[in-house]
Structure 1
Amino acid sequence: MTNNDKSISIDIVKYPVITDKSTQLLEENKYTFAVDDQAHKKDIKKTIEHTFDVKIKTINTCNRHPKKKRVGKFIGYKKRYKKAIITLEKNYSIQLFPDN
């Protein structure tokens, strides 16, 4: 294996984030995914392009801090994750909601 041949890990992308704001961004051809918090933009781009067979224009990432969660008298935290907002080229799209 040479330096140019890097394996693509599908485990980088965890799941699509479905919120009110992310569904509004779908109209602008922007998709939101929760990704591994150690992943770089280059790795995310390779994985998304290979998995969904699309062309990516830009990637914006942000680290989401863990929120407090209270269950009765116990206080804990939700998991920390990185969110990636991916803008695709004009002619491409991703089917997040398959038609019935």
Structure 2
Amino acid sequence: MANIQYYDVILKPVVTEKTMELMADKKYTFLVHTEATKTQVKEAVEKMFPGTKVANVNTMNLDGKKKRARGSMTFGKTAKTKKAIVQLTAESAEIEIFQGL
């Protein structure tokens, strides 16, 4: 496994209608590095966002979608991704990047 630093674990937040509803329960969704473990995701969230305390982390591996070039017979796939849903504790601070949404 690659040596992943905490600032390389979280790639970007996932903002959809479903993830916005989960934020009411203090659940936040992020795209993470494909080789990151649950403990690495937990450490990264707690270090990147001060005042947060993670209760648990759920991860899921997503396969790439099949793609075809327009007008030709070449086929391919997009890259595989990994998504993490982070549950914060009740006394934990909110994550600031989601406040203006």
Same fold? TM cut 0.5:
yes
Aligned pairs, number = 93
Aligned partner of 2:47 in structure 1 is 50
Query: What are the equivalent positions in structure 2 for 1:1-100 lying under 5 Å apart?
Result: 8-53=5-50, 54-72=52-70, 73=72, 74-91=74-91, 92-97=93-98, 99=100
Superposed structure 1 runs of 4+ greater than 4 Å apart: none
Post-superposition Cα deviations, 1:16-37, rounded to whole Å, max 9, x if no partner, equal 0112211111111100000011
Structure 2, gaps ≥5 residues long: none
Structure 1, gaps ≥5 residues long: 1-6
Taking the aligned partners of 1:88 and 1:98, their CA distance within structure 2 comes to 15
**What SS class does the counterpart of residue 96 from structure 2 fall into?**
coil
Q: Conserved in 2, the CA contact under 8 Å of 1:8 and 1:46? A: no
TM-score in terms of structure 2 length? 0.81
Q: What is the CA-CA distance between 1:98 and the residue it aligns to?
A: 5.0
Q: What is the CA-CA distance between 1:96 and the residue it aligns to?
A: 2.1
Percent identical residues: 34
Taking the aligned partners of 1:26 and 1:71, their CA distance within structure 2 comes to 37
Post-superposition Cα deviations, 1:12-55, rounded to whole Å, max 9, x if no partner, equal 11000112211111111100000011111111111110110210
- Cα RMSD over matched residues? 1.8
